[in-house]
């Protein structure tokens, strides 16, 4: 993205040996120093988080007031870039006091986005997917307390007016039929 500076962090992963002329480097009866290790340098940030696919969810960044389709406020969300821009952290606070947190990341090797959600009520979602038909679409499965397997499909669509529409559909029959669990609009604060 224009104007964005990426700082590359380097890490040394192996230890250095003693200095070449150091007597401790020579063992008993050895006249030459022990070989020294070559440091291994790894780019820990680099370009893996800079590609267009890694930026697909950036439209969701920012502070939001979330409303249902009738216009009532149902919560607030703070969406921030973390880990040098390689992940997106969501902090949700529902109007009823229930909170939740998600971490979303693009996995370039797998070619997909993955989100891990933990709700204050104990709901855990593991979702994956990507950009489809003008929206981020992630899906996954979770089990209810009674053992029912639920298929989740969540869609985040950026709207022309700066809002984001989120719809969460669930199916208990492997996608044969769907029910909308949540349909809301994220409005910038």
pLDDT tens figures, 105-132: 999 999 999 999 999 988 999 999 999 9
Candidate from 3-12, 53-62, 173-182 with smallest mean pLDDT: 3-12
Residue 104 sits in the same domain as residue 134: yes
Residue 163 sits in the same domain as residue 96: yes
Does a structural domain hold residue 2? no
Residue 94 sits in the same domain as residue 180: yes
Does a structural domain hold residue 81? yes
Residue 74 sits in the same domain as residue 17: no
**How far is residue 149 from each of residues 16, 119, 167, 182, measured CA to CA in Å?**
53, 18, 19, 18
Q: Which residues neighbour 52 within 8 Å (Cβ) at sequence distance 6 or greater? A: none
Residue 18: pLDDT band (50, 70, 90) is very low
**Three-state secondary structure call for residue 58:** helix
Mean pLDDT (whole number) for 30-48? 52
Residue 58 sits in the same domain as residue 14: no
> 109 is in which domain, residue-wise?
53-188
Residue 165 sits in the same domain as residue 94: yes
Q: Do 89 and 102 touch, CB atoms closer than 8 A?
A: yes
Task: Give the C-alpha separation, 92 to 94, whole Å.
Answer: 6
Residue 106 sits in the same domain as residue 125: yes
Residue 46 has what pLDDT? 54
Residue 132 sits in the same domain as residue 58: yes
Q: What is the pTM of this model?
A: 0.75
Task: Give the C-alpha separation, 88 to 82, whole Å.
Answer: 6
Residue 66 sits in the same domain as residue 121: yes
Chain-wide mean pLDDT for the chain? 83
């Amino acid at each position: 993205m224009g104007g964005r500076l990426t700082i590359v962090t380097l890490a040394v992963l192996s230890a250095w040996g003693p200095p070449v002329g150091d007597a401790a480097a020579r063992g008993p009866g050895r006249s030459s120093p022990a070989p020294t290790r070559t440091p291994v340098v790894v780019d820990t940030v680099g370009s893996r988080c800079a590609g267009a696919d890694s930026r697909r969810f950036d439209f969701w960044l920012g502070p939001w007031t979330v409303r249902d389709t009738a216009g009532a406020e149902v919560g607030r969300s703070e969406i921030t870039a973390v880990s040098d821009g390689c992940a997106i952290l969501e902090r949700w606070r529902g109007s009823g006091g229930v909170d939740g947190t998600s971490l979303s990341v693009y996995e370039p090797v797998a070619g997909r986005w993955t989100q891990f959600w933990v709700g204050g009520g104990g709901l855990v979602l593991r979702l994956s997917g990507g950009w489809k038909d003008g929206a981020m679409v992630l899906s996954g499965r979770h089990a209810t307390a009674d053992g029912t397997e639920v298929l989740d499909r969540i869609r985040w669509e950026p709207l022309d007016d700066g809002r984001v529409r989120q719809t969460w559909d669930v199916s208990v029959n492997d996608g044969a039929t769907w029910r909308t669990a949540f349909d809301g609009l994220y409005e910038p604060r």
